[in-house]
Amino acid sequence: MSLKSRRRFPLLRATAELANAANAAHPLARDGYSTIPVFFLGWPTGEAAPVVVGASMLDALRRGRRGDFAGPRGRIALLLTAASWALLGYVYGRNAKSRPSFEEPLRKELGDNYEVVAERERKRRPGGVFRTGWSRRQYVKKSDTVRYGPHSVNVADIWHRTDLPLDGKAPVLLQIPGGAWAIGMRRPQAYPLMSHLAERGWICVSMAYRISPRNTWPAHIVDVKRALAWIKENIADYGGDPENISVTGGSAGGHLCALAALTPNEPVWQPGFEDADTSVAAAVPIYGRYDWYTDEGSGRPEFISILQRFIVKKRFADNRQIYLDASPITRVRADAPPFFILHGEDDSIIPVQEGRDFAAALKEVSANPVIYSEIPHAQHAFDFFGSPHGHYTADAVENFLNWVRAKTG
């Protein structure tokens, strides 16, 4: 490579870095299939900004030593690279100041003393991106991976402290992974939340389920119901309370979480275990899909097309009731359990209006608390990493669930 071409390359690279930083600050696309690469590039960049900046600085030092930033083009490239660092520093600072967006909706709905009611058992220092990523090793032993159903993918990890008394009746949280109903990887989703709760004496069950296109709806929700039934029958063996089970999940997991909470003991989705109790104490859907039937609006035609081709595998026009029944927003009910709904303002995969509409519809009919937290500038999957958003989510969810536990226990 000639010196001239080598000096051009840093300028292109620096421009790409700055564009990616801008995408992390504010998504560059909000409609159509372009939102997918926008999300996958901007999401880790924004949530793990210190790691991205650190790696970029080290690489810039390496490239600078070999002369990549020599000459006018090189100096411009260095300035653009530094601008991307500054922009990501701004993004991280903005994220770090977002705690009130998680806490104020809880305080408004539950009262000023909700944190006193939801007293904390242990203080915990946030682990950061890397420590949180390794947390499964601390709370899940080899014998804690269990099979909850007849299918090969019906497995779950039991997160818990080894010193929990077997007769302690610890509260339980079922974590349902996201992934567009087609990935469903339970690892490494929700590690900040589950490590936080496990440290505080909770038992968390992180499940996998049958996914599409190999499997067809409603296999996904059937597996969630089966996992709930398994927990009620077996969690006491781990020191858990079968009468105090809550459910959470993000994205597709948020959809399944909300749907499971709103359809307890639904016989059509409990084949072979119709008599099992699948009710839950509380639900925490995060950036979920709540509407499977609206076919107009931003991203809706593309979403319905994906459902028809890969998930439901039935024409929307001829099978509308299936899509309606699978939509949590159509299943709202007066006796719904308490709900804590979280959504990111800058979600480019599932527009924030979907979270707003679901929360409003549920709040209109439910006799129990419905709290909606909209996180400013947050992308889809904002709680995935051990970032400020991840740790604030864990704190807020713990406070909500402990409040429910105190009020109903």
Q: What's the CATH code of the domain at 354?
A: 3.40.50.1820
What integer is the mean pLDDT of 57-75?
Answer: 90
Domain of 59 in residue numbering reads as: 3-96
Taking only the tens place, the pLDDT of each residue in 120-176 is 544 455 555 455 667 888 899 989 999 999 999 999 999 999 999 999 899 999 999
Number of domains forming the structure of the chain: 2
Give a yes or no: residue 268 inside a domain. yes
Boundary residue ending a domain (76, 96, 116): 96
On whether both 126 and 83 belong to a single domain, the answer is no
On whether both 114 and 229 belong to a single domain, the answer is yes
Give a yes or no: residue 254 inside a domain. yes
Q: How far apart are CA 200 and CA 104, in angstroms?
A: 22
Taking only the tens place, the pLDDT of each residue in 291-342 is 999 998 888 999 999 999 999 999 999 999 999 999 999 999 999 999 999 9
Give a yes or no: residue 241 inside a domain. yes
Which of the following is catalytic: 84, 101, 251, 387? 251
Percent of the chain with pLDDT strictly greater than 90:
79
Give a yes or no: residue 304 inside a domain. no
Q: Given a cut of 70, is residue 8 above it in pLDDT?
A: no
Rg, Å, the chain Cα set: 22
On whether both 287 and 198 belong to a single domain, the answer is yes
* Contact criterion met (CB below 8 Å) for 295 and 352: no
On whether both 143 and 284 belong to a single domain, the answer is yes
Give a yes or no: residue 296 inside a domain. no
* Contact criterion met (CB below 8 Å) for 197 and 394: yes
On whether both 68 and 109 belong to a single domain, the answer is no
Which of the following is catalytic: 68, 223, 325, 347? 347
Both structure tokens of 146: 């269990």
Which of the following is catalytic: 220, 255, 380, 391? 380
Q: Pairing between strand 155-159 and 145-147?
A: antiparallel
Residue 398 phi/psi, 5-degree rounding, is -60, -45
Match 């979403």 to its residue by tokens. Answer: 303
On whether both 71 and 208 belong to a single domain, the answer is no
Boundary residue ending a domain (67, 96, 125): 96
Per the annotation, the verdict on 380 as an active-site residue is yes
Give a yes or no: residue 154 inside a domain. yes
Q: Given a cut of 50, is residue 1 above it in pLDDT?
A: no
On whether both 67 and 146 belong to a single domain, the answer is no
Both structure tokens of 91: 């993004």
Per the annotation, the verdict on 98 as an active-site residue is no
